[in-house]
Amino acid sequence: MRNLHPKPVARFALIVALVGLTLGAGDDARFNQLGHKLMCVCGCNQVLLECNHVGCAYSDRMRGELAASVERAESDDLTLQSFVQKYGPTVLIAPTGSGFNRVAWLVPYLALALGLASVVIIVRAWSRRAQPVTAPSGDAADLLDPFRRQARRETEL
């Protein structure tokens, strides 16, 4: 049997360990990235990786599915789409920017723009309306006296 020197074997083992840690770190980062795009469906309204319900029936199973998907090296879109198909669109933290979900992104901004436009139109209309007529002075007031007397007589004031 051939004797291997300890230094080359140690170097090889160190290289294998570093490569394994590097690949594992990439998977962990991807797992965390995808896990923070998903919501736990148990009703806690928390991010999947941060669900802290004791005995949550969903979070452990969903984390396992996510880890398996990362290990299979599925694309991010495929992984997220598989969760949407299984748990529904509410599993995503943010709605996608396509289809009907685009409305969820546009309606708040549209409502804000319409509200601001309405306020501007109303303020302009109020500022342009006619000024109130002032009370008549002098001779014009004398013209109204007969009508005031008649109104007092008829109402007995």
Alpha-carbon distance values, 81 to 39, 85, 94, 96, 97 (Å)? 13, 6, 13, 11, 14
Half-sphere exposure of 11 (CA within 13 A, CB side): 5
**pLDDT values of the chain reduced to their tens digit, one per residue, 157 residues:** 455 555 655 555 545 444 444 444 467 888 888 888 888 888 788 888 888 877 788 888 888 989 998 898 888 888 888 888 998 888 888 766 677 777 877 889 999 999 999 999 999 999 888 777 676 666 666 788 888 889 989 997 6
- Neighbour-count burial of 120, counting CB atoms closer than 10 A to its CB (0-12 exposed, 13-18 middle, 19+ buried): exposed
